[in-house]
Amino acid sequence: MSLRSLSKLLALAALTVTACTTEAQPAPEALLPPAVPREMRAIWIATVDNMDWPSRAGLSTEQQKSELVAILDKAAELRMNAVILQVRPEADALYASKLEPWSEYLTGTMGRAPNPYYDPLTFAIAESHKRGLELHVWINPYRARYSKTRPASKDHVSRARPGLVRQYGPYLWMDPGDPAVRERTEKVVYDLVRRYDIDGVHMDDYFYPYREKRKGRDIPFPDASTYARYKKKGGTLGRDDWRRENVNQLVHELYKGIHEVKPWVRFGVSPFGIWRPGNPASVRGLDQYTELYADAKKWWNEGWVDYLVPQLYWSVDKPQQRYDELLRWWAQQNTKGRHLWPGNYTGKVAFTNSAAWRTGEILEQIRLTRAQPGATGNVHFSAKVFMEDPDSLDGRLRHEAYADAALPPASTWLPGSNLAPPVILPRVEASTGDRYVDFKPAGTTVPSLWVLQIRGISGWTTEILPGSYRGALIAARSAAVPLEVRVSGVDRVGNIGASARFIPVR
């Protein structure tokens, strides 16, 4: 063997040995990598009435896919880390289901599958995870019919089980007081959790419907027969308390049931932003406790959700609904230490009337969220505004609010995976001279994300990569060789595992 060949072999051996060094080995405190930033940055993707996606019913399969990919690309470009996709807007399904019919918002006809066939949710999950985005499914638990123009399919609940459905205002609603309605919603959710690789299940603020009025007077929700049945069976609660208990029971059972199926799938609710007027003292507005029969404070205090997204859809200086005061109040109720991610009406930046906001309003809301102890992110309504990009919204978010990548906060109360240091091996591309690090899981558990941290002369840089990645560029041929590289896996509930490290040969 020539001296030159022997030198190359020894250098490769040294490189391989250092690649196996793990976090357990001591390192000077000043040389340790910084903590990875944590913040939820999510976008709602609304499908009801073709609000965000698909842009209209009847698009071809390829057009639907192309539109969804564009939204996910935009989310990744803005350094978001999650999307919340509405998959059950009106007792229907934007996915392959044996329980409820295909949504009309896909093909224009309820019950008709996309043609050429594909499963939109399977596609959405794969494309989201490919970009390092979590995907949470968004379901409406009680709304049965929103559309006013197209007929329902024969297997839709309004035709197959009409006794469960009530006409209220222009829409149809499943009666929350009927145990069969709760059973139906739970069955739909558990089916989603079992069959799809989702990261979370999400419900919005539609529980008992917002009150309808006629000639200035409230129209009562038509559940007299259901309540009478409850009383006949020995029920003792007054009607309002009974209604709240119906919703409480659904929320509590979903929280337990989802985690029994898959412990890592998080459950979240996005209630109306005011629990009750006077909470805090300065607040006035709709009382969700008495009008929607939603006791979000109870769910929060009991720990029946993994995250809460109160819809703080008012400006930072709105009298009687100040953003910072409401956010502080919700944070004070977080007795179980769950995630608090306020919902922001970012879409108002695209408004053209007097209710329109400037981008600076959203940036200030994000700043106030970060300043509030216990609040750890924001959820933006909705995807359409980012595709339109009014008032330089996208650029200012990316370069000001979201200049650096962030991991979603860890759900430490859920069981994690205790990921071992990954197997890593540095590599130099012969054709270009570029330096890479290749990595793979040390065991059978595949991380949902990777954290790649590189130390150079001027300090550390951090990248967050999709769990499907098996390598990354660490230095172009013309760039300085890094002083140190570390790679860690992130499990399904956000815990960072032990890191593997190596010192590149210079």
Average pLDDT over residues 433-455: 96
Q: Where are the alpha helices (DSSP H) in 206-314?
A: 224-232, 239-261, 288-291, 296-302
Q: What is the mean pLDDT of the chain?
A: 94
- 408 located within any domain: no
Same domain, 333 and 226: yes
Q: Coil, strand or helix: which one is 282? A: coil
Q: Is the pLDDT of residue 20 over 90?
A: no
Nearest to 104 by CA among 117, 94, 118: 94
Instruction: Indicate whether 456 and 314 sit together in one domain.
Output: no
Indicate the residue among 337, 369, 401 that finishes a domain: 401
Q: Which class for 175: exposed (0-12), middle (13-18), buried (19 or more C-beta within 10 A)?
A: buried
Q: Concatenate the DSSP letters of all residues of 193-204 into one string.
A: HHHS--SEEEE-
Confidence of residue 6 (pLDDT cuts 50, 70, 90): very low
Structural domain contains residue 409: no
Per-residue pLDDT band for 29 (boundaries 50, 70, 90) equals low
Residues 254, 190 share a domain? yes
Report yes or no on 406 lying in a domain: no
Sheet with 471-475, side-by-side order of all strands: 423-428, 435-440, 471-475
| Alpha-carbon dihedral 156, 158, 161, 164, rounded to 10 degrees | 130
300 with 433, same domain: the answer is no
Q: Peptide bond preceding 319: is omega within 30 degrees of 0, i.e. cis?
A: no
Same-domain check for residues 124 and 228? yes
Beta-carbon contacts of 225 under 8 Å, excluding residues fewer than 6 positions away, are: none
Is 350 a domain residue?
yes
Whether residues 395 and 457 share a domain: the answer is no
The CATH number of the domain where 22 resides is what?
2.60.40.10
Final residue before a domain boundary, out of 401, 425, 456: 401
Identify whether residues 44 and 183 lie together within a single domain: yes
**Does the pLDDT at position 9 exceed 90?**
no
- pLDDT, one tens digit per residue, over 180-234 is 999 999 999 999 999 999 999 999 999 999 999 988 899 999 999 999 999 999 9
Whole-number pLDDT of residue 149 = 82
In tens, the pLDDT along 316-350 reads 999 999 999 999 999 999 999 999 999 999 999 99
**pLDDT(12) > 90:** no
Written as six digits, the tokens of 482 are 């890094």
- Distance, first Cα to last Cα, the chain: 24
Given this model, what pLDDT does residue 295 score? 98
Q: Is residue 181 part of a domain?
A: yes
Q: What is the mean pLDDT of residues 300-329?
A: 97
The pLDDT, as a whole number, for residue 148 is 78
Residue 106 lies in a domain: yes
- What pLDDT is stored for residue 106 in this prediction? 98
Determine the pLDDT at residue 28: 60
Last residue of a domain, one of 374, 401, 428: 401
> Quick one: 314 and 353 in the same domain?
yes
Same domain, 49 and 32: no
Is 10's pLDDT higher than 70?
A: no
Residues 368 and 427 in one domain: no
Alpha-carbon distance of 59 to 115, in angstroms, equals 10
Residue 501's H or E segment, with its range, is strand 500-502
Phi, psi for 487 (deg, rounded to 5):
-130, 130
- pLDDT band, residue 307 (cuts 50/70/90): very high
Evaluate whether residue 13 is within a structural domain.
yes
Structure tokens at 405: 């990548």
C-alpha to C-alpha distance for 248 and 294, rounded to whole angstroms? 8
Over the stretch 367-407, which tens digit does the pLDDT of each residue have?
Answer: 999 999 999 999 999 999 999 999 999 999 999 999 999 99
65 in the same domain as 24: no
Assigned domain for 407 exists: no
> Do 146 and 186 fall within a single domain?
yes
| The pLDDT value given to residue 337 | 97
Percent of the chain scored above 70 by pLDDT?
Answer: 94
Number of domains in the chain: 2
Range of the domain at 23: 3-36+414-502
pTM as predicted = 0.94
pLDDT of residue 492: 97
- Here the CATH number for the domain that contains residue 61 is 3.20.20.80
- Say yes or no to pLDDT of 78 above 50: yes
